[in-house]
A and B are shown apart, each in its own frame.
Chain A
Amino acid sequence: MSEIKKIKNLKEFSTSADRFEGANLLCPGCAHSIIVREVLNATNDDLILSASTGCLEVCTAVYPYTSWDASWIHIGFENGSTAVAGAEAMYKALKTKGRLKQPDREPKFVSFAGDGASYDIGFQWISGCMERGHNMMHIVLDNEVYANTGGQRSSSTPIGSSATTSPAGRISYGEKKNKKDMISIMAAHQIPYAAQVAPNKWKDMVKKIQHGLAVEGPVFINAMSACTTEWKFDPKDTMSISDLATDSLVFPLYEIID
Chain B
Amino acid sequence: MAFDKMELRDIEVWDGNFAAAQALRQCQIDVVAAYPITPSTPIVEGYAKFLADGYVEGEFVMVESEHAAMSGCIGAAAAGGRVATATSSQGLALMSETLYQASGMRLPIVLNLVNRALAAPLNVNGDHSDMYMVRDSGWIQFDAYNPQEAYDLNFIAFKVAEDHDVRLPAIVNQDGFMTSHTAQGVKTLTDDAAYNFVGEFKPMNDMLDLDHPVTHGVQTEEDWHFEHKARQHRDLMVTVMPKIQAAFDEFEKLSGRKYNIVEEYDMDDADVAVVCMGTSVETAREVATEMRAQGIKAGVVGIRVLRPFPFMEIAEALKDVKAIAALDRSSPNGAAGMLFNEIAGALFNTDTKALLSGYVYGLGGRDLTKAHLRDLYKELQANADAGKVTTQLQQFIGVRGPKLAFL
Contact = CB atoms under 8 A, between A and B. Distances in A.
A125 B98 CA distance: 13
B343 interface: no
A17 interface: no
Interface in B173-223: 206-211, 213-221
B236 interface: no
B112 interface: no
Interface in A38-67: 46, 48, 50, 57-58, 61-64, 66
A72 B218 CA distance: 10
Interface stretch (A80-88, A209-217, A250-258): A80-88
Contacts of A160: none
Interface stretch (B62-70, B118-126, B295-303): B62-70
B394 interface: no
Contact of B68 (A63, A79, A88, A105): A79
Given A63-B220, A125-B64, A128-B68, A70 B208 contact: no
B356 interface: no
Given A74-B218, A76-B97, A46 B210 contact: yes
B207 A73 contact: yes
B208 A71 contact: yes
A98 B2 CA distance: 10
B259 to A, nearest CB: 30
A128 B207 CA distance: 22
A91 B208 contact: yes
B252 interface: no
A81 to B, nearest CB: 9
B72 interface: yes
B61 A79 contact: no
B210 A105 contact: yes
Nearest to B211: A102
Contacts of A184: none
Most buried by B among A84, A93, A107: A93
A79 B71 contact: yes
Interface string B208-243: 111101111111110010001000000000000000
B75 A83 contact: yes
Contacts of B63: 82, 128, 132
A72 to B, nearest CB: 5
A125 B61 CA distance: 13
B310 to A, nearest CB: 31
Size bin of chain B's contact surface: 35 or more
A4 interface: no
Contacts of B83: 90
Contact of B59 (A50, A75, A89): A89
Nearest to A127: B64
B58 interface: yes
A78 interface: yes
A92 interface: yes
A8 interface: no
A134 B207 CA distance: 17
Contacts of B71: 75-76, 79, 82-83, 86, 125
Given A83-B78, A85-B61, A101 B72 contact: no
Nearest to B1: A97
A101 to B, nearest CB: 5
Given A73-B78, A76-B98, A101 B217 contact: no
Contacts of B73: 86
B281 to A, nearest CB: 35
Given A86-B74, A93-B58, A125-B68, A72 B215 contact: yes
Given A75-B71, A76-B98, A92-B59, A124 B207 contact: no
Contact of A57 (B2, B206, B219): B219
B64 A71 contact: no
A23 interface: no
A89 B218 contact: no
Interface in B42-76: 57-59, 61-65, 67-68, 71-76
A84 B76 CA distance: 8
B157 interface: no
B147 interface: no
A99 interface: yes
B80 A90 contact: yes
Interface in A104-158: 105, 107, 124-125, 127-128, 131-132
A99 B81 contact: yes
A249 B145 CA distance: 65
Contacts of B1: 97
A248 interface: no
A100 interface: yes
A69 interface: yes
Contacts of B338: none
A79 B99 CA distance: 13
Given A63-B220, A73-B78, A92-B59, A79 B210 contact: no
Contacts of B62: 132
B267 interface: no
A116 to B, nearest CB: 16
Contacts of B289: none
A96 interface: yes
A68 interface: yes
A89 B210 contact: no
B80 A94 contact: yes
B33 interface: yes
A102 B211 CA distance: 8
Contact of B76 (A70, A86, A96, A125): A86
B130 interface: no
B210 A102 contact: yes
B315 interface: no
A154 B213 CA distance: 33
Contact of B216 (A72, A78, A93): A72
A139 to B, nearest CB: 16
The list of the 6 closest CB pairs from A to B, nearest first, reads A86-B75, A79-B71, A90-B79, A128-B64, A86-B72, A71-B207
9 contacts: A48-B79, A71-B208, A71-B214, A71-B216, A72-B214, A86-B78, A90-B79, A90-B80, A107-B210
